[in-house]
Amino acid sequence: MKALNLYGVKDLRCEQTPEPVVEHENEVIIKVKAAGICGSDISRYQKLGPYVKGMTFGHEFSGEVVETGKAVTEIKIGDRVAACPAYACGKCENCRSGEPARCAQLTVIGARHPGAYAEYVKLPAGHVMQLPDNVDYDTAALVEPASVVAHGFYRTSVRPGAEVAVMGAGNIGLLAIQWARIFGAKKVYAIDVDDQKLEIAKQLGADVTVNPLEQPADEQIMEQTGGHGVDLAVESAGSPVTSSQVLALPRKGGEVVFLGIPYADVTMERNYFEKIVRNELRVLGSWNAVSAPFPGKEWTSTIHYMSRGEIQAEPMISHRIQLEEGPSMFQKLVNREEKAAKVLFYPDKE
């Protein structure tokens, strides 16, 4: 089968790779219909390289079940599915206490297990979820990143009527805007330096868009909120700069949840750090998308709200390309030769 395999920094190859086979009775083989590029994939391609040289890359996907192990009863051949790509050990203290996202051995397909940038992928049946008929494969390819955002929101104390600011209107930020609405936000602010992204943010539920190039984001937020600030600020840009600036957005006693990963040192001005102390902020980190019972309510909730049309993927998708185009697309993205939102690969040409 065709697969995109990562050999090193900026060394991604489209190759013929053996198809996965059922080795354990609880396994499911899925024909990949759509697979998305994650921001973490770009960072690993550009800066970090593979965990395992030559590993098949990618973890965001949807597809059709083509084979199951003999112990699999709830998933059947022909089912349209999405899947949780994360593996937790199930044995460590965090797993045993119901916190698999904190598992010391947490990993995902595309890292130490063959990933979804391929014609077929294999996972345990407990990772696989059936899709409602009205959730198409393109939308379902975003179940994983949408679940990542849901995990962050479940960590907060946001309530209906809250005001929420989302720092960064990339894919995670656009999903955060939609989750803010689902969690009952009465007003959502989208912050980004890219006006095109801000237009998409409006389509997906942002009430107010803020471009910090025109005026500092915190000043604009304070003007909009009568000097109080928002109840919850979401950092989804993954930038060292915004990782500091986001602390100036909440009200006294408000919350910040970090979804983005800077992949660089964060140097913080005293003014921003003091916001934590003087405003008694609650600062939260959020990692991955799994909870107990595995894979967690993040996944079932995401699929439910996709079926209701409250999580939309279509405005986020900028590119639909064949798997063979993967190496050139990654190169264009890191060289900034291509402006993209969500890129989907189609391994199956049928």
In order, the DSSP letters of 232-292 are: EEEE-S--HHHHHHGGGSEEEEEEEEE----SS-----HHHHHHHHHTT-EEEE--SS--S
| DSSP structure class, residue 125 | G
- Here the tokens at position 187 are 């007003």
- Dist CA 287 CA 8 (whole Å): 25
Domains in the chain and their CATH numbers? 2-142+313-346 (3.90.180.10), 147-285 (3.40.50.720)
pTM above 0.95, yes or no: yes
Longest dimension (CA), the chain: 62
**Residue-averaged pLDDT of the chain:** 97
Tell me what percent of the residues of the chain surpass a pLDDT of 90.
97
Q: Positive or negative CA dihedral for 38, 40, 43, 49?
A: negative
Count CB-CB contacts under 10 A for residue 159.
11
pLDDT tens-digit readout, 168-217: 999 999 999 999 999 999 999 999 999 999 999 999 999 999 999 999 99
135-155 tens-digit pLDDT: 999 999 999 999 999 999 999
Q: What is the amino acid identity at position 80? A: R
Supply angle C-alpha 342, 99, 57, rounded to 5: 35
Amino acid identity of residue 121, one-letter, is V
Sheet with 187-191, strands from edge to edge, namely 208-210, 187-191, 163-167, 230-235, 250-258, 282-285
